[in-house]
Structure 1
Amino acid sequence: MTTNLKLRQFVVVVFFSSISLLPISTLSFSADSPTDRRILVLLDDVSLKSSHSIFFSSLQSRGFELDFKLADDPKLTLQRYGQYLYDGLILFAPTTERFGGSLDLAAVLNFVDSGHDVIVAADANASDLIRNIASECGVNFDEDSSAVVIDHTSYAVSETEGDHTLIASDTLIESEVILGKKKIEAPILFKGIGHSLNAKNNLVFKVLSASSTAYSADPNSKLSHPPSLDGSTISLVSVLQARNNARVLICGSLEMFSNQLLRAGVQKAGQSKKHAKSGNELFVIELSKWVFHERGHLKAVNARHHKIGESDEPAIYRINDDLEYSVEIYEWSGTNWEPYVANDVQVQFYMMSPYVLKTLSTNEKGLYHTSFKVPDVYGVFQFKVEYQKLGYTSLSLSKQIPVRPFRHNEYERFITTAFPYYGASFSTMLGFFIFSIVYLYSK
């Protein structure tokens, strides 16, 4: 008995000791602080930590905790005891054929399916593993492993004439929520492989595109056949926002994040203006803010409905009741929640199909509201708010409420539209009375 008791005590102590060794941030993520996160950074080479230090420093300065590891570390794992240890993943390991530890393709995809964010950077030596991760996210890199993006028109001018593989692109998506309000004046330097988007995947979209004169080919050999990717169909940087609001950034250039290109001056071919600094730093920093939910993250709270003139939510409505619906929507600014202001938020009063569709008015302090009349149909309805907008996390709210018809004693005693029928009834009765008198008292 004493031995068994001591053994149980030992197991309990070991269990709680192992829990105490878990990173504190495993429990820190919450909807109230979407950016309170710990990020795992996987590298091909330790030297990338210093060669890409500006990008990493920008993340750390914004409060992210980075855990740097080699991609083939045998102790790699994303979760322990059913809990994810990280809320974000950065894959700066394009040549890795196989991750170490328990990390593999399925683990990365499950990480995204669980609502976590990923940044994937590839290059001309991208492995099948990295290509498969991108493919599962709706991005297809050029199948030719030796092909890179070449542009003889929109390239970066240098002192020595090169092979025009250093692209200077300024074809950006027009979205403040994704790229921020600061305008990127200088072209963005890109050197790497291009990709196309899966036409069947409507969740992935381009952020940085190549020009119409670009094509994907091996710069060290002559073209023997038309390139598989060419023109503005080539995407250089793409992003995916999954239905669970997880965000994935896929870039064909690891070098685009390097200190060298972030600090480099740039002059686009055909332009006389030379910029002292490329637009890379502003581009990757602002884009990383979107990927890690520092911008474009919405939450909806306090969804309420009640009859006009009342304040309590009823358990049931009656047909033709006048009601009011309201909800509060806020956007995360990176440090706190701020009122979200838009004029395209709608609510549906729904049963099999929407019977009422109303655009919500806003007081520009986060409150959205509207009023309408319950339709003359009884059954089980839902208040539904389905809000989807490019760059923003989607909102899906629903509240169920039954609607009953009038009771027998709630109808009006005399209905105006029935007056002709009332007249016909009384005139028939009067006519029968007169007929009876005439028939009985006349010879």
Structure 2
Amino acid sequence: MARRSSHSIFFHSLQSGGFDLDFKLADDPKLALQRYGQYLYDALILFSPSTERFGGSLDLKAVLDFVDSGHDLILAADASASDLIRNIATEFGVDFDEDQSNVLIDHTSYAVSGTEGDHTLIASDDFIKSDVILGKTKIEAPVLFRGIAHSLNAANSLVLKVLSASPSAYSSNPSSSQLQPPSLTGSAISLVSVVQARNNARILISGSLDMFSNRLFSSAVQKAGSTHKFAKSGNKQFVTELSKWVFHERGHLKAVNIRHHKVGETDEPAIYRIKDDLHFSVEIYEWSGNSWEPYVANDVQVQFYMMSPYVLKTLETDQKGLYSTSFKVPDVYGVFQFKVEYQKLGYTTLSLSKQIPVRPFKHNEYERFITTAFPYYGASFTTMAGFFIFCVIFLYHK
């Protein structure tokens, strides 16, 4: 429970945001995430990097099942990270340096301190450019980081760097000479990464547990090569804003009231006819932390889909959460779907669909005379007239 005291500012920020925290020792024999098939928690914070084995029923599979069920996770490691912690991170596309004696070193972007030559305390200000993830208020002060480096699995497109290392950073053992080139160097190194799974569960993975500590929250910071000294590091703002995103206080969307009907009508039909003019609408809202507010964007699209999209339209918004458009049903009959697939950096994914059949014209709905067929009509009547004249001449002319 020592970390409950040493990281109390971070925990207090969560409590002040309305979260109820339940602290458990990593080796607690009664440790469990669910009981009778029901999960006991909405999110999990793992601040035990050296733990080789959790107590109770908590293990690697239990953590993965917890995330697969749509729950959130914060994982912090350090130089003492165990194989268990590393394996959990690997499952989410984050690979920590395999050499457990290595830490992150940077001889140009370190924090100036009284300990000369100790360049393992990094001052980083290379943040992801996303207001929805880090908030609209710019983080002025660098973030202090002391820990281990990690890289992102190129095969995992869901993991993002939130805090990156500088081009001069590398992973090595500071207490021994470097005989081989470092395995991780430069901007390929990530300090803090996030994942938004396909089920919209969110994961934060940090290579530094100290980054969440009271000591680094309250420390003054001066980046090497800069004359500007900040009274406090950017750690508290960075971690607090990032935690809001991880716990769905920001960037969480919902869609309601999917509607469609023929233009000029209000009731939703059970079937459409080819070439009907229809109107489609959906309401999209974003959670602000306290209430659902209208989501405003100009890149939401709807597909009228059967095997492939026959119609793709960008929805217009009334700035109050309502998105709508009108279009003509294609001249193809079958079972179609209205599909809204919305993916945007930092926002939860919207995947909506509604099925509707489309029928051809009935026999009595076709036009009696089609303008484009007039040449054929003329040819038919000309043929009949010619045949009649031929018969008259053949019968009565000697």
Tell whether the structures are fold-level matches, with TM greater than 0.5: yes
Deviation at 1:159, TM superposition (A): 2.6
* TM-score (ref. length: structure 2): 0.99
1:337-366 Cα deviation digits (max 9, x unpaired): 000111111111001110011111111100
Distance 1:317 1:160 in 2: 75
Counterpart code for 1:410: E
Matches within 5 A, 1:421-432: 421-432=376-387
1:68 maps to which of 20, 23, 33: 23
Matched, 1:330 2:288: no
* 3-state SS in 2 of match to 1:314: coil
Name the structure 2 match of 1:201: 156
* 3-state SS in 2 of match to 1:347: strand
Deviation at 1:163, TM superposition (A): 1.8
Matches within 5 A, 1:30-45: none
Distance 2:391 2:78 in 1: 105
Name the structure 1 match of 2:65: 110
Matches within 5 A, 1:64-103: 64-103=19-58
Name the structure 2 match of 1:236: 191
* 3-state SS in 2 of match to 1:70: coil
Distance 2:33 2:257 in 1: 34
Distance 2:22 2:263 in 1: 54
Distance 2:397 2:44 in 1: 106
1:320 maps to which of 275, 279, 304: 275
1:27-60 Cα deviation digits (max 9, x unpaired): xxxxxxxxxxxxxxxxxxx111111111100000
* 3-state SS in 1 of match to 2:74: strand
1:174 maps to which of 109, 126, 129: 129
1:235-269 Cα deviation digits (max 9, x unpaired): 00000110100000000000000011111111100
Deviation at 1:438, TM superposition (A): 2.5
1:66-97 Cα deviation digits (max 9, x unpaired): 00111111110000010000010000001111
Distance 1:121 1:430 in 2: 92
Name the structure 1 match of 2:256: 301
Distance 2:293 2:378 in 1: 63
Deviation at 1:375, TM superposition (A): 0.4
Name the structure 2 match of 1:17: none
Name the structure 2 match of 1:368: 323
Distance 1:428 1:327 in 2: 56
Matched, 1:435 2:390: yes
Counterpart code for 1:52: H
Matched, 1:343 2:302: no
Distance 1:328 1:432 in 2: 66
Distance 1:157 1:442 in 2: 120
Structure 1 unmatched runs, 5+: 1-45
Name the structure 2 match of 1:36: none
Matched, 1:125 2:57: no
Give % identity.
Answer: 79
Name the structure 2 match of 1:56: 11
Moved more, 289-298 or 153-162: 153-162
Matched, 1:226 2:181: yes
Counterpart code for 1:319: I
Matched, 1:289 2:258: no
Distance 2:369 2:334 in 1: 26
RMSD: 0.7
1:145-189 Cα deviation digits (max 9, x unpaired): 110000000000113313200000011100001000010001110
Matches within 5 A, 1:11-26: none
Distance 2:39 2:388 in 1: 89
Name the structure 1 match of 2:214: 259
Counterpart code for 1:290: W
* 3-state SS in 2 of match to 1:260: helix
1:383 maps to which of 315, 325, 338: 338
1:417 maps to which of 372, 377, 381: 372
Deviation at 1:437, TM superposition (A): 2.2
2:166 maps to which of 163, 188, 211: 211
Matched, 1:404 2:359: yes
* TM-score (ref. length: structure 1): 0.89
Deviation at 1:431, TM superposition (A): 1.5
Deviation at 1:390, TM superposition (A): 1.1
Distance 1:232 1:214 in 2: 8
1:354 maps to which of 309, 312, 315: 309
Distance 1:359 1:219 in 2: 55
Deviation at 1:141, TM superposition (A): 0.4
Moved more, 433-442 or 410-419: 433-442
Counterpart code for 1:326: S
Name the structure 1 match of 2:142: 187
Distance 2:4 2:375 in 1: 88
Structure 2 unmatched runs, 5+: none
Distance 1:438 1:359 in 2: 67
Deviation at 1:433, TM superposition (A): 1.8
